[in-house]
């Protein structure tokens, strides 16, 4: 038990070690510091290497820059240089030699192996059948983020995503419980803070030779309510939304309220509460149902305002309201073709 606890502490400690550069240091002087920008170069991308020192004036020193053993540039005060990575699976060895007047020759060697990782996300939120858009995330909705790494070894073979180490962060803070070997899926649950989030991941091979990182900004949306007509033969007509008004030309028509971006599990479990109001009068018999049946008045003319509010009792930050004007027109046939 004690050994397992020690192993767990060591592993979590390793997760908390920050990445300084996406390069492997093969040998160096401790008085010569290197900064790579971008921090995680991708395949076929330019990146800069900058050197700094607190023990000597590099502007008075002559610097030699080597790439894969070939001198590419030299000069006094040449404290930075721009390189370009190769494709996936390639590797570039960069040697830096700095001849100073007071500290001799300082050296630094780094190896850059480019890789990349893509992030995809989906929200467990509601949309109508055959909806062509993306189900957006709303406050307190569950979100799944998946990391798809593109790591290639020196032989051109893609590495198994389950053999890589993942470090997940939310708003720059590491999520230790979701990080580790093979953990390329992150599930965000029940976000109660009404603001957007930056999710990032850093992926590394077990030997630390290949690294990549990516981030995405998750924007939270408010739930919405969209009205549709429900036809007795065809069912809910999701191809045409009722945006501002609806002409009731039949003796009776039904309106279906589609909740957008509410948590799907709460819809299935009946946690949504519907409050229907017509001209400031609550319709008690329609409460708790997403369908409202409208009947033409005896005089057959005029208009009313239909209001609906939806509240999720399980996730109190998920709520929405909307309004639809109902016009009572002259009877002209089936309600399906009234607005065509």
Last residue within a domain, chosen from 112, 146, 170: 112
CB-CB contact of 276 with 308 (8 Å): yes
Backbone angles phi, psi at 56, to 5 degrees: -155, 160
Residues facing residue 281 across a β-bridge: 278
Would 126 be classed as within a structural domain?
Answer: yes
Would 10 be classed as within a structural domain?
Answer: no
Would 6 be classed as within a structural domain?
Answer: no
Domain that holds residue 58: 15-112
**Length of the chain (residues):** 340
Q: Is the pLDDT of residue 193 over 70?
A: no
pLDDT band at 1 (very low <50, low <70, confident <90, very high): very low
Which CATH number characterizes residue 286's domain? Answer: 2.60.40.10
Question: Which residues make Cβ contacts (< 8 Å) with residue 323, sequence separation at least 6?
Answer: 305, 306, 307, 308
State mean pLDDT over 121-133. Answer: 91
Q: Is the pLDDT of residue 65 over 80?
A: yes
Would 4 be classed as within a structural domain?
Answer: no
Element housing 143 (H / E): strand 143-150
Q: Is the pLDDT of residue 333 over 80?
A: no
pLDDT band at 330 (very low <50, low <70, confident <90, very high): low
Would 207 be classed as within a structural domain?
Answer: yes
- For residues 214 and 228, membership in a common domain is answered with no
- For residues 232 and 301, membership in a common domain is answered with yes
Last residue within a domain, chosen from 112, 133, 163: 112
Query: In this prediction, what percent of the chain has a pLDDT beyond 70?
Result: 85
Question: Which residues make Cβ contacts (< 8 Å) with residue 183, sequence separation at least 6?
Answer: 166, 168
pLDDT band at 174 (very low <50, low <70, confident <90, very high): very high
Number of structural domains, the chain?
Answer: 3
- Of 5-19, 53-67, 216-230, 306-320, which gets the smallest average pLDDT? 5-19
Q: Is the pLDDT of residue 25 over 80?
A: no
* Tokens 């409460």 sit on residue: 287
Last residue within a domain, chosen from 152, 183, 218: 218
Query: pTM (2 decimals)?
Result: 0.78
Q: Is the pLDDT of residue 104 over 50?
A: yes
Q: Could you give the count of Cα atoms lying within 13 Å of 264 in the half-sphere of its Cβ?
A: 13
User: Where do runs of H (alpha helix) occur along the chain?
Assistant: 2-15, 264-268
Would 262 be classed as within a structural domain?
Answer: yes
């Amino acid at each position: 038990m004690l050994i397992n606890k020690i192993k767990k502490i060591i592993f979590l400690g390793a997760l908390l070690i920050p990445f300084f550069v996406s390069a492997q240091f093969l040998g160096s002087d401790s008085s010569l510091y290197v900064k790579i920008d971008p921090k995680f170069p991708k395949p076929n991308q330019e990146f800069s290497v900058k050197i700094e020192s607190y023990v000597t004036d590099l502007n008075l020193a002559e610097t030699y820059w080597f790439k894969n053993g070939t001198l590419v540039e030299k000069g006094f005060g040449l404290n930075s240089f721009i390189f370009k990575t190769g494709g996936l699976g390639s590797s570039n060895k960069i040697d830096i030699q700095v001849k100073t007047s007071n500290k001799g020759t300082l050296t630094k060697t780094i190896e850059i192996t480019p890789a990349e990782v893509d992030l995809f996300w989906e929200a467990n939120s509601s949309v109508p059948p055959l909806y062509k858009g993306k189900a957006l995330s709303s406050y307190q909705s569950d979100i799944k983020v998946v990391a798809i790494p593109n790591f290639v070894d020196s032989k051109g073979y893609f590495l198994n995503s389950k053999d890589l180490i993942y470090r997940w962060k939310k708003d720059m803070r590491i999520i230790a419980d979701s990080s580790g070997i093979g953990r390329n899926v992150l599930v965000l649950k029940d976000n109660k803070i009404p603001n957007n989030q930056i999710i990032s991941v850093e992926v590394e091979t077990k030997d630390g030779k290949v690294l990549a990182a990516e981030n995405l900004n998750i924007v939270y949306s408010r739930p919405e309510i969209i009205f549709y007509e429900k036809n007795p033969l065809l069912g809910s007509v999701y191809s045409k939304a009722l945006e501002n008004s609806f002409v009731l030309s039949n003796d009776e028509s039904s309106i279906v309220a589609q909740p957008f971006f509410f948590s799907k599990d709460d819809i299935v479990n009946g946690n949504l509460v519907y409050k229907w109001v017509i001209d400031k009068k609550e319709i008690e018999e329609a409460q708790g149902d997403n369908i409202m049946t409208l009947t033409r008045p005896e005089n057959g003319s005029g208009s009313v305002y239909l209001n609906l509010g939806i509240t999720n009792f399980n996730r109190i930050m998920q709520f929405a309201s909307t309004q639809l004007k109902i016009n009572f027109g002259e009877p002209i046939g089936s309600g399906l073709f009234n607005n065509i």
